């Protein structure tokens, strides 16, 4: 199945064949999402705005595909993990994570930021594949 779609998701460090296959299975036809924002909403990563009487706040969504949410969470954690060697698995994601924490975000909120970046990457790779190959 993975060879048929050939999204090259396994070129992302930390994404195994099993994880890539699960991502493809949970996302389905990427063409049903007109943007990465819609995919993030489907995965339950995009925050939901609650408001009443002119006052509002954003909270994390409990809706969406929880399996897909879990996959992106797993990937985000693996991107910022620092093994015993002391060198982060993904230095760019780790630096982004540290920057978000220094901006005042909690660790959980910083992980959601990483998850959102990963959604953008996966969406871009999947749509690029569909556009270049003309098939799904």
Quick: pLDDT tens for 59-113.
666 778 899 999 999 999 999 998 888 888 899 999 999 999 999 999 999 999 9
Higher pLDDT, 108 or 134: 108
- Host domain of residue 63: 2-133
Q: How many domains does the chain have?
A: 1
| 128: pLDDT strictly greater than 50 | yes
Sequence-distant contacts of 125-133: CB under 8 A, at least 24 apart: 125/7, 125/8, 125/9, 126/7, 126/27, 126/30, 127/30, 127/31, 129/5, 129/6, 129/7, 129/8, 130/30, 130/31, 133/6
């Amino acid at each position: 199945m993975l060879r048929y779609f050939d999204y090259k998701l396994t070129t992302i460090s930390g994404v195994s064949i099993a994880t890539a296959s699960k991502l493809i299975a949970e996302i389905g036809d990427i063409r049903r999402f007109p943007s990465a924002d819609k995919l993030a909403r489907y995965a339950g990563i995009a925050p939901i705005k609650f408001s009443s009487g002119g006052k509002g706040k954003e909270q994390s969504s409990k809706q969406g595909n929880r399996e897909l949410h879990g996959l992106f969470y797993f990937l985000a954690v693996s991107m910022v993990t620092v093994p015993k060697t002391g060198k982060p698995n993904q230095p760019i994601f780790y630096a982004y994570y540290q920057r978000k924490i220094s901006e005042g975000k909690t660790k959980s909120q910083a992980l959601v930021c990483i998850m959102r970046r990963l959604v953008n990457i996966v969406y871009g790779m999947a749509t690029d594949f569909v556009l270049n190959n003309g098939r799904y």
